[in-house]
Structure 1
Amino acid sequence: MDLVPYAIPFFALSILLEMAWDKRKGSGYYRLNDAINSLSMGILRTSSALVIFGFGTVLLLQLGEQYRLFDISTDSALAWVLAFIGYDFLYYWFHRVSHERQVLWASHVAHHQSEEYNLTTALRQTSTGFLLGWIFYVPSFLLGVPPEMFITVASVNLLYQYWVHTRFVPKLGWFEWVFVSPSNHRVHHARNPRYLDRNYGGVFILWDRLFGSFQEELDEEPVEFGISKPLHSWNPLWANLHLYRDMLASSWNTPRWRDKLYLWVAPPAWQVPGQAAPIQTGPLPKYDPDCGPAARTYALLLILAMFVWGSYYLVGFADQNYAARLAGFALILTTLMEAGAALENNSKRWYSLFRRGALSGSLVWLGYHAEPQLAAICYSLALVAPILGWRLTSSTRKASGPLSQS
């Protein structure tokens, strides 16, 4: 059983409590635009499960059905413990290779783009992990771990990782020798050269200590969060796809076939010979365009609406036909993109019209596949949403001028 959807209320409450504590302490660990972008990524990842069913899932189920070595019972407590430990061991290697090979880093990079570190960062998940991530879990299904057991231990592993995305918990003494803690996971999210690509464990930090990838958080070197080549965008779709675009462009423009192929499996820092980009050193400025209070309010309203709608979508659309599920997902995607664009203060009018046209189109499409009451709401919003967005953000654009980055 996937336990993550049941934890959504806890996620919301704990984030609000951490935000309140941050404000009271004056720590400055939250920025609204960064937090909204992380939440957008989480909503997009969760909702995409209803429209994306990867080939890897089918193959894993077939392997477990036809080639399993053992018949493992879900009634065995020992089997659950071993399945949990085994999953974390496989996760360690999946996570490590995701940092060491470009084609996997292109997916995993989405989780590391935030330049802040708080509980919303934990929800910043990739939507493209279904492409290759399944490969690392083949051993579980070959050994005979039942699908329901695998899903449950995987969700428990993911839920454990939520609480370590905070800066308010200090080092925890002996605990850090065995388990992943907020301190050693902060190191994992660092872009400091000393901390880069360390501490891959999900629940157990023992794997890092055993396989030489552990790095302690040092008092003399504060963590700088983010990635070496910042995204400079609040667009959640672009956050998922930008490295794939870059790899395709590099592969197309690279003359030697050997390099065209190798760059996909090369370390992320590898550059085509003769095309190396200059390396940025020292602290990097945070991406923080000034969009004004109206645009921030508009983006916040959109993300809150999608939090509510996304929760309903996961339950209410699970049994709908694929066209209806796709319509509901289109609404989520276009709304999240609109929220991101508002925070970027994009001054290109044609782009704003196109984006809001797509938002209205998704509402109309959803209304076509929805029940009459929901259809009426969708059609009304399709008329109001573009006007509301334009009115809330146009005064900000006039006052602050173009600040768009992509």
Structure 2
Amino acid sequence: MNYVLYAVPFFFLLIGLELLADRWRGMRTYRLADALNSLSAGVLSQATGLLTKVVGLLTYTFAWERLALFELSANSLWVWISAFVFYDFCYYWNHRLGHERNVLWAAHAVHHQSEDYNLSTALRQTSTGFIFGWIFYLPMAIAGVPPLVFLTVAALNLLYQFWVHTRHIPKLGWFEWLFITPSNHRVHHAQNPIYMDRNYGGVFIVWDRIFGTFQEELDEEPVIFGVTVPLASWNPLWANLQVYAGLWNDARRAASWWDRLRIWFMPTGWRPADVAARYPQAKPDLGNFRKFDVALGRGAQCYALLQFVCYLLAGVWLLAQGESLALAALLLACLWVALGLCSIGLWLENRPGAVRLEYLRLLLNVPALWLAGALGALSLDGGAWGWLAAYSLASLLGIWLARGSAAPALTPPV
């Protein structure tokens, strides 16, 4: 069962309630572009996950079949309870190493790039975590936890983490001692030096207390959210590639071949001395911190929001149909989603070429729909082409209206 698919309506219901709480309490925890960037990263992660989840599933199943030390039954309640706790223990180390090693941080950084903190941030997930993430859960397979149990407790662990991404819930007394809460998870998303690299648990905070990585949220130290090397972009593709690109550039600039190899597995932030000297990396002044933002007219913002809703609905459909689609159809769908979300991101950045990319995207929808039909993903009757024509005309009208909206909508940044 795809728990994330069934949870989507509840995610957006709770996001709506948080927006109402914002208005009621006079807070401003949401900005449209930042929220769309977080949600776009989530849609992209779920879409690409249909292709990449097989890596973790196959390796786990192989280890369970060949290396399991015990024969545990999925019918035992104690197996489920212990697997739930065991998974969170493995998650703690996956999460901790994801902050402590360069190549693992390159995947995990996506989740931390938002400079706001709200429920949309919870859905901001990586598309590349599959590369190494599976390694940390092999102990569960070796212990004999059946794949069905593993997949279920993994989904439940992820779903639990949604509610802790909010600024509206204060400290929760005794609950803080045992479980991850909004307060101690706000600490985890901070870039304040006192808070960085703390509170790694997914459900239980006890691992952090045991292994010395716990930090309480302090009244005298307000949290500043984000990362010390800002993303400064609304493009979800660049969000996934930024840290990899930085590591690659540092590696190719290094004079030593040893530095070029080891940079990937060194502690997060480590750079070859010669590269750091020639290409110093400025860090934000937290005493005068300003969030990344791009001025955009109301019409252009509405256009981006409506386009994103279309891609969100397509992403939900893809999650529902993914297991029945051929590999080629899934690959086509992922490329289509990636192009669309990238285009929305560049639009939100007010890039001079954003309008041209939108025209190209709308044009490419024609061969994309034809290929989807040829691959058996969609039925190409007159209705499908009619919907595409209506969508394309509505989008062209939206572009025209957005370009005419209040300045500085879609004018090159000064």
How far apart are the structure 2 equivalents of 1:247 and 1:151?
32
The answer as to 2:370 corresponding to 1:367 is yes
How far apart are the structure 2 equivalents of 1:196 and 1:288?
23
Contact 1:360 1:385 in 2 (8 A): no
Contact 1:327 1:366 in 2 (8 A): no
Normalising by structure 2, we get a TM-score of 0.92
Contact 1:360 1:386 in 2 (8 A): no
How far apart are the structure 1 equivalents of 2:329 and 2:379?
11
Task: State the match for 1:325 in structure 2.
Answer: 330
> Residue deviations 1:351-383, cap 9 Å, x none?
642454145324532333221246414642685
Moved more, 254-263 or 320-329: 320-329
Alignment-mate amino acid for residue 380 of structure 1 = A
Task: State the match for 1:194 in structure 2.
Answer: 194
> Residue deviations 1:21-48, cap 9 Å, x none?
1022210111111111111111111122
Q: 1:269-280 maps to which residues of 2 (within 5 A)? A: 269-276=269-276, 277=280, 278-280=282-284
Task: State the match for 2:6 in structure 1.
Answer: 6
Contact 2:118 2:166 in 1 (8 A): yes
How far apart are the structure 1 equivalents of 2:129 and 2:408?
41
Task: State the match for 1:402 in structure 2.
Answer: 412
How far apart are the structure 1 equivalents of 2:355 and 2:58?
40
- Quick one: percent identity of the two aligned structures? 46
Moved more, 384-393 or 248-257: 384-393
Task: State the match for 2:118 in structure 1.
Answer: 118
Q: 1:57-76 maps to which residues of 2 (within 5 A)? A: 57-76=57-76
Task: State the match for 1:51 in structure 2.
Answer: 51
How far apart are the structure 2 equivalents of 1:363 and 1:48?
22
**Contiguous gaps of at least 5 residues in structure 1:** none
CA shift for structure 1 position 387: 2.8
Moved more, 366-375 or 339-348: 366-375
Moved more, 164-173 or 240-249: 240-249
- For these two proteins, the number of residue pairs brought into alignment is 402
- State the SS of the aligned residue for 1:162: coil
Contact 2:298 2:406 in 1 (8 A): no
How far apart are the structure 1 equivalents of 2:379 and 2:299?
33
The answer as to 2:306 corresponding to 1:301 is yes
CA shift for structure 1 position 327: 2.6
Task: State the match for 1:387 in structure 2.
Answer: 396
Task: State the match for 1:310 in structure 2.
Answer: 315
How far apart are the structure 2 equivalents of 1:44 and 1:392?
28
How far apart are the structure 2 equivalents of 1:179 and 1:317?
34
How far apart are the structure 1 equivalents of 2:391 and 2:309?
18
* Aligned partner of 1:376 among 380, 385, 397: 385
How far apart are the structure 2 equivalents of 1:210 and 1:184?
15
Task: State the match for 2:210 in structure 1.
Answer: 210
Contact 2:117 2:166 in 1 (8 A): yes
Contact 1:178 1:204 in 2 (8 A): yes
> Residue deviations 1:152-184, cap 9 Å, x none?
000111111000001010001111011111000
Task: State the match for 1:347 in structure 2.
Answer: 352
Q: 1:241-320 maps to which residues of 2 (within 5 A)? A: 241-276=241-276, 277=280, 278-283=282-287, 284-320=289-325
Q: 1:381 to 1:255 in 2, by over 3 A?
A: farther
CA shift for structure 1 position 399: 4.0
Contact 1:334 1:359 in 2 (8 A): no
- State the SS of the aligned residue for 2:126: coil
Normalising by structure 1, we get a TM-score of 0.94
Q: 1:162 to 1:87 in 2, by over 3 A?
A: same
Contact 1:54 1:130 in 2 (8 A): no
How far apart are the structure 2 equivalents of 1:22 and 1:52?
37
Task: State the match for 1:99 in structure 2.
Answer: 99
Q: 1:287 to 1:309 in 2, by over 3 A?
A: same
How far apart are the structure 2 equivalents of 1:15 and 1:55?
32
